[in-house]
Amino acid sequence: MSWRATVLTIFPEMLPGSLAYSLAGKALHAGAWRLDTVDIRDFAQDKHRSVDDAPFGGGPGMVMRPDVLDAAISGADGVGPLILLSPRGRRLDQAKVADLAAGPGIRLVCGRFEGVDERVVEARAIEELSLGDFVLSGGEPAAIALIDACVRLLPGVVGDSEALTEESFADGLLEYPQYTRPQMWRGRLVPDVLVSGDHARIRDWRRAEAERLTRERRGDLWERYRAARRPAIGGDQASNRKVEQ
Ligand SMILES: C[S@@+](CC[C@H](N)C(=O)[O-])C[C@H]1O[C@@H](n2cnc3c(N)ncnc32)[C@H](O)[C@@H]1O
C-alpha cells in the first residue's frame, strides 16, 4: 500500500502543483505515493455551493462552515491523522514530518477566508499544524510543503539515502556549507580540506561547521543539541562546565 495524501480544499486545481515535479512528481508517477483531492464545495447544501458564512460576533471576513467541512471529512476516503493547516497550530518540524512519513498517510484540511469554525476542529479532534509564524492566504501552499517534506522521506524517493541523514535537522544541526565546481570563483576558493581527499578530516570539518552555523543562527536548536549531548548523571561535570564557558 502506497503512502497516501488526501487534501480537502475549495481549490482542488491547486494540487498537485509543484508536487508533480522532480522527486515528488517522479515518485507519484511511479506509485510510491498517492494523492487524492476532495472538493469541499461538493458537500455544500445550497445551490450556490456556499462553504463559508459571516462570523458570529461580527468582524471582518468569512468563516468556513462546520457542517459543510464535517460532511467533506466524512466523504473523504483517506488514511492517517486528520490535520488542519493553521497558523495557530504546533510549528511543523522535521521530527513531526518523519513521524507522518512513517505512517500510512495524512488527511489535510486547507483553510481559507478567516479560517474554520472552531466546533468542527473540536468535534473531529483535528490536529493543527503551522508552517511558521506568518499568515498565508490559504492552507494549500502549506499542504503542498508538508506533503513534499513527507514524500522525500519515503523509501526509495531520494536515491542516495545518505543525503537524508546528512541534511539540516537530521541530527539536530543545520547542514554544513556545500561547494561545487569551479574550485575558484570570483576569487573565492573552496576550503582546502574538501579537496584533501582525507575523509576523516572532511567529516570533522563538516561537523564543526554544522555546529558553528547552528550556534550562530539557531540558538534554540543549539541548546537542544547541547543538552542532548551532555553526559548522563555521573558524567564529568567539571569538564562539561569548562566546555560550556
Ligand atoms: C488567511 S488564513 C487565516 C488566518 C487566521 N484568520 C488567523 O489569523 O490565524 C487562511 C488559511 O490559510 C492557512 N494558513 C495561513 N497561514 C498558515 C501557516 N502559517 N501555516 C499553515 N497554514 C496557514 C490556514 O489553513 C488558514 O485557515
Q: Write down the pTM of the prediction.
A: 0.92
Strand extents, DSSP E, the chain: 3-9, 33-39, 52-53, 63-64, 82-91, 105-110, 127-130, 184-185, 188-189
- Report the alpha-carbon distance of residue 175 to residue 189 in Å, rounded: 20
Q: Is residue 147 within 8 Å of residue 106, measured between CB atoms? A: yes
Kindly report, residue by residue over 67-101, the tens digit of the pLDDT: 999 999 999 999 999 999 999 999 999 999 999 99
What is the average per-residue pLDDT within 196-217? 98
DSSP state of 113: T
Say if ligand 1 is within 6 A of residue 60 CB: no
H/E element holding 102? helix 94-102
Measured between alpha carbons, how far is 63 from 55 in angstroms, rounded to an integer? 6
- What residues are paired with 224 via a beta bridge? none
Q: How far apart are CA 92 and CA 108, in angstroms?
A: 14
Ligand 1 pocket residue status of 133, Cβ below 6 Å: no
Contact 129, 83 (CB under 8 A): yes
Q: Which residues are CB-neighbours of 65 under 8 A, at least 6 positions away?
A: 50, 51, 52, 53, 117
86 touches ligand 1 (CB under 6 Å): yes
Q: Cell numbers of 88, please?
A: 495557530
Tens digit of pLDDT for each residue in 130-140?
Answer: 999 999 999 99
Which residue CA neighbors atom 23 of ligand 1 most closely?
86
Predicted local confidence at residue 160, as pLDDT: 83
What average pLDDT does this structure show over 9-25? 98
